[in-house]
């Protein structure tokens, strides 16, 4: 037998081409992988290929993988937990720098052919990649346990030595493939995959059926659960499949340790993973540590709250309160649905009409799930009125022609008998240019051997999974050329007819791809295009380097970056609600995520007057690296928890319910002696990320922790639930849904006010003395008031007096009441405490009504005379109350500088 280097063969890049070997078989000896004993057995020397001796003259040979690239650790990964992982720079990052979720450019993926190298294979990582050194690979240990007669714990070395090895070509597909299209229609809880969340490789390992036959499942066992070594906020990643699938040879489920003849790449599960043909990639657990046979599906958090298609009428907000719906196995995704995409023409590709081309070859991929074969791909140029059959090529079938007992990469290539299809196929169709000139679009759909065909319209769901409507490429016939426009581009990359149509006000859910239809009504899930907020000064053309940006990272003239543009924060140091500290904390940083998440449309509209230039491309890349820098590895030694320029994590360790809608969340810091680092009267920012979409939710809170507390952080949160009248609080409901052990990120301190003690305050760094505080609050607005009140009351030498006016709806809404009343009772000469309720019951004996003009005029009055010493009003509560209080105190003669709003 002869074998040619795949990279050298002229047809290897073409998915439709077969090639014939031409290199002497003797040269294979150096590539043989015996898979025998540990260390020195050549296991890590791959790739290796051993083939059988017999071969019929002129028979076709299956193709081998393209030559992989020699990659290196990329600069953007150096300061992340994945600093040990080498990666291809062509991959498109879908969730920022970390965790690593990527797809290849669609054209590059197609050009690589039927088999995908480790370099361009899509990656779905929920967190850091476990570090496994080469000398640890064969000693990797995993267990098979649960409802079995003979539970076992074994190493990878034993798995290779004691079990027959097989090699199968298998396509893996992320359930979120093509999700960006759903996110354009309406934001899901998932990040934006394009159409390249699909890849194919040769996988070598042991069939799961062989492994389970040794341990003997017990009567009543129905499921097989898998758990990886990737520790995540909600535990280790895990999922399950049905036991009868696991033992079915036609399903081809394997425990794999090689990918294209090489040890698994770290991003793909080094050293051991499950590979499940025909099912969504989320079931193929990487970094495998446990196989557990059970009577019920996995109770792993990621099995329940990921990889599901919930009914289309369930919104992301409603889904947070439907635990029984999430646990309903009817909504769990296993087998892939039939899908296809157009790869050529590429997005924004142009064809000159002046050229002599008569046809253009449309090309793409298709796949089906559950072992089904794609039996047809159809193309329409008139939006479905007529269809043309495309040509289909099945490279997987080449491997069925291999001789008996063929060995590939140390595993028996035994798929000749199997009818099930595990891989994608490729389609092509030559379309006359004359027809393309007359068409508005070209659409495709695929059908499998059960006659299931891709639907015309999208089935939107909360996680944005299994999206498979007809794939539409729009044709623009302008300026003597044809330009092709795909539906979307992956991640945050702009482009695609769906975004364009939505931006122009079209309804992309009307069944006519946004085209105006007489009498059309807006679709239920259609959202009007967002108002464009211009944050740029179009006259500014200055290019700014990272060095120049960093020269303004102090308190003199703080510059910061939003969406690649540089802004000078000097102009609003005194006006910013978060105080100058928040601007100084942003100086020299890319704070796009924080700014866009927190600030109002009005605030964004004000930014153009502070725009001073554009960060050059090289500096923008370098800044991204710096922005990904985590807390240093020795963070447990830091005496202070909060950092002004870096997000730091704390772990949720307790929840205490103190009323029907209010809880105290306790977070454990890095070590028991670590202080919080929050000055009195200031606050911090909390950031949560959706585990699927990685979208940030950021809000500011003042903890109720004592300033002297160490090791713990206590945050009181009033939870605003959804009601029939409207949506509740996104952040508060997300906090309420946190599981014990899950992490939250914190940053700070921020705020323009600080109480330094004994009547001395600082506002934006300027000191001022007061003799009296008027403290106005409602609900959870008590938290910053409490911090200042504590500082005054606990220092007997502090002669500052305080009046606290706490307005609430009902008596249960009065928060921190015991502590407030204890302080007022101990020093009535320093503290006067007044509650007023707007909807009291008959037993209430205190003040009644809202905090209004009459209350303040009676209890507070106008500002003090100059000979009485200074006074200051501190206010925290709902927006409506804050606005009313501001107007009332202004009418009573108080100056703006005497009012501080938290």
Annotated binding site for Mo-molybdopterin: 174
306 included as an active-site residue: yes
Contact 656, 716 (CB under 8 A): no
Residue in 278, 277, 429, 425 with CA at minimum distance from that of residue 340: 425
Q: Rounded CA gap, 664 and 258, in Å? A: 48
Phi-psi region of 5 (alpha: psi -120 to 50; beta: other; left: phi over 0): beta
Q: Where are the beta strands (DSSP E) in 660-706?
A: 662-668, 683-689, 696-701
Give the H or E element holding residue 824.
helix 817-826
Contact 461, 394 (CB under 8 A): no
Q: Rounded CA gap, 378 and 451, in Å? A: 13
Q: Is-cis flag, bond preceding 352, omega within 30? A: no
Catalytic residue (choose from 35, 177, 307, 467): 307
SS3 state of residue 246: helix
Query: Per-residue DSSP letters for 406-470?
Result: -EETTEE---TT-----S-EEEEEEEEHHHHHH-SEEEEEEEETT--B--SS----TT--S--SP
Q: Where are the beta strands (DSSP E) in 441-509?
A: 441-448, 471-478, 481-485
Helix ranges restricted to H, 704-806: 730-736, 782-794
3-state secondary structure 179-228: HHHHHHHCCCCCCCCCCCCEEEEEEEEEEHHHHHHHHCECCCCCEEEEEE
| Tokens standing for residue 131 | 């570090």
Q: Rounded CA gap, 487 and 493, in Å? A: 12
Phi-psi region of 146 (alpha: psi -120 to 50; beta: other; left: phi over 0): left
Query: Per-residue DSSP letters for 273-289?
Result: EEE-TTBBGGGS-SSEE
Residue in 238, 226, 278, 271 with CA at minimum distance from that of residue 130: 271
Residue in 557, 560, 565, 617 with CA at minimum distance from that of residue 587: 560
Query: Per-residue DSSP letters for 474-490?
Result: EEEEETTEEEEE-S--S
SS3 state of residue 810: coil
174 included as an active-site residue: yes
Buried b / exposed e along 302-324 (16+ C-beta atoms within 10 A): bbbbbbbbbeeeeebeebbeeee
Q: Rounded CA gap, 239 and 633, in Å? A: 31
Catalytic residue (choose from 33, 82, 267, 306): 306
Contact 670, 635 (CB under 8 A): yes
Contact 232, 179 (CB under 8 A): no
Contact 302, 239 (CB under 8 A): yes
Please give the annotated binding residues, written as ranges: 174
Task: Work out the angle between the directed axes of helices 782-794 and 817-826 (0-180°, nearest 10).
Answer: 30
Residue 112, strand partner residues: none
SS3 state of residue 899: strand
Q: Classify residue 368 by its DSSP letter.
A: -
Residue in 82, 75, 78, 73 with CA at minimum distance from that of residue 622: 75
Q: Rounded CA gap, 502 and 367, in Å? A: 29
Distance from chain centroid for Cα 671? 28
Residue 766, strand partner residues: 763
Distance from chain centroid for Cα 239? 19
Antiparallel, parallel or unpaired: β 123-124 and 101-103 = antiparallel
Q: Rounded CA gap, 437 and 360, in Å? A: 11
Catalytic residue (choose from 12, 88, 174, 260): 174
Q: How many CB atoms lie within 10 A of CB 770?
A: 18
Task: Please identify every residue annotated as catalytic.
Answer: 174, 306-307
């Amino acid at each position: 037998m002869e074998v040619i280097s795949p990279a050298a063969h002229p047809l290897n890049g073409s998915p439709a081409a077969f090639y014939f070997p031409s290199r002497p078989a003797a040269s294979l000896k150096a590539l043989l992988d015996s898979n025998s004993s540990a260390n020195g057995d050549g296991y890590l020397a791959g790739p290796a290929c051993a083939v059988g001796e017999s071969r019929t003259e002129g028979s076709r040979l299956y193709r081998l993988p393209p030559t992989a690239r020699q990659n290196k650790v990329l600069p953007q990964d150096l300061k992340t937990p994945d600093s040990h992982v080498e990666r291809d720079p062509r991959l498109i990052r879908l969730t920022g720098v970390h965790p690593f979720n990527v797809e290849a450019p669609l054209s590059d993926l197609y050009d690589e052919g039927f088999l995908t190298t480790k370099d361009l294979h899509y990656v779905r990582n929920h967190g850091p990649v476990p570090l496994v050194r080469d000398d640890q690979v064969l000693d990797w240990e995993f267990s098979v346990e649960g409802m079995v007669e003979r539970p076992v714990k074994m190493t990878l070395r034993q798995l290779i030595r004691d079990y027959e090895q097989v090699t199968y070509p298998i396509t893996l597909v992320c359930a979120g493939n093509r999700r960006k299209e759903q996110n354009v229609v309406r934001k899901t809880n998932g990040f934006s995959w394009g159409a390249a969340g699909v890849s194919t490789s040769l996988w070598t390992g042991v069939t799961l059926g062989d492994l389970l036959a040794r341990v003997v499942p017990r009567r009543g066992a129905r499921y097989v659960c898998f758990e990886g070594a990737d520790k995540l906020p909600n535990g280790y990643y895990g999922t399950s499949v049905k036991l009868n699938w696991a033992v079915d040879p036609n399903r081809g489920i394997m425990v794999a340790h090689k990918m294209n003849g090489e040890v698994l790449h770290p991003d793909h599960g080094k050293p051991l993973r499950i590979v499940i043909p025909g099912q969504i990639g989320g079931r193929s657990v990487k970094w495998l540590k446990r196989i557990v046979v059970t009577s019920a599906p996995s109770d792993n958090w990621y099995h329940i709250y990921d990889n599901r298609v919930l009914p289309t009428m369930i919104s992301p907000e409603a889904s947070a309160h439907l635990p029984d719906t999430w646990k309903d196995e009817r909504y769990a995704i296993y087998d892939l649905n039939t899908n296809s995409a157009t790869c050529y023409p590429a997005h924004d590709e142009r064809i000159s009409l002046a050229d002599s081309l008569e046809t253009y070859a449309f090309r793409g991929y298709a796949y089906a799930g559950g072992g089904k074969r794609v039996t047809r791909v159809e193309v329409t140029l008139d939006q479905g009125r007529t269809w043309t059959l495309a040509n289909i090529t099945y490279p997987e079938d080449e491997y069925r022609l291999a001789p008996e007992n063929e060995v590939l990469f140390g595993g028996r290539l035994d798929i000749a008998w199997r009818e099930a299809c595990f891989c994608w196929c490729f389609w092509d169709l030559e379309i006359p240019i004359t027809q393309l000139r007359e068409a508005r679009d070209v659409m495709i759909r695929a059908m499998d051997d059960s006659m299931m065909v891709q639907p015309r319209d999208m089935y939107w769901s909360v996680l944005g999974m299994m999206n498979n409507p007809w794939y539409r490429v729009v044709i623009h016939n302008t300026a003597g050329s044809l330009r092709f426009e795909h539906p979307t581009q992956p991640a945050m990359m702009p482009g695609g007819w769906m975004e364009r149509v939505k931006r122009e006000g079209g309804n992309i859910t009307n069944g006519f791809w946004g085209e105006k239809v007489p009498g059309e009504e807006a679709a239920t899930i259609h959202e009007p295009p967002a108002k464009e907020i211009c944050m740029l000064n179009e006259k500014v053309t200055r290019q700014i380097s990272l060095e120049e940006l960093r020269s303004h990272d102090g308190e003199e003239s703080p510059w910061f970056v939003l969406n690649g543009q540089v802004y000078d924060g000097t102009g609003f140091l005194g006006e910013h609600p978060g105080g100058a500290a928040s601007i100084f904390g942003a100086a020299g940083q890319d704070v796009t995520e924080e700014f866009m998440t927190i600030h109002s449309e009005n605030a964004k509209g004000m930014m153009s007057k502070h725009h001073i230039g554009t960060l050059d491309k090289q500096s923008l890349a370098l800044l991204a690296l710096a922005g990904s820098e985590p807390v240093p590895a020795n963070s447990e030694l830091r005496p202070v928890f909060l950092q002004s320029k870096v997000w730091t994590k704390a772990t949720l360790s307790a929840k205490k319910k103190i009323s029907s809608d209010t809880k105290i969340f306790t977070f454990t810091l890095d070590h028991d002696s670590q202080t919080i680092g929050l000055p009195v009267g200031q606050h911090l920012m909390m950031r949560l990320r959706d585990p699927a979409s990685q979208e940030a939710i950021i809000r500011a809170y003042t903890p109720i922790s004592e300033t002297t507390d160490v090791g713990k952080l206590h945050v009181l949160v009033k939870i605003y639930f959804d009601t029939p009248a409207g949506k509740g609080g996104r952040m508060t409901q997300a906090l309420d849904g946190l599981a014990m052990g899950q992490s939250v990120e914190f940053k700070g301190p921020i705020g323009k006010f600080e109480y330094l003690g004994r009547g001395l305050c600082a506002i934006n760094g300027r000191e001022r003395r007061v003799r009296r505080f008027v403290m106005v609050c409602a609900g959870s607005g008590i938290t910053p008031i409490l911090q200042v009140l504590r500082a005054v009351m606990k220092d007997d030498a502090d002669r500052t007096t305080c009046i606290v006016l706490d307005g609430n709806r009902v008596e249960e809404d009065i928060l921190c009441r015991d502590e407030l009343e204890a302080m007022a009772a101990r020093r009535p000469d320093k503290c006067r405490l007044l509650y007023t309720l707007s909807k009291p019951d008959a037993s209430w004996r205190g003040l009644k009504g809202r905090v209004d003009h009459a209350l303040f005029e009676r209890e507070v009055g106008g500002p003090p005379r100059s000979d009485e010493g200074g006074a200051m009003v501190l206010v925290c509560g709902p927006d409506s109350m804050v606005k009313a209080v501001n107007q009332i105190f202004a009418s009573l003669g108080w100056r703006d500088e005497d009012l501080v709003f938290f």
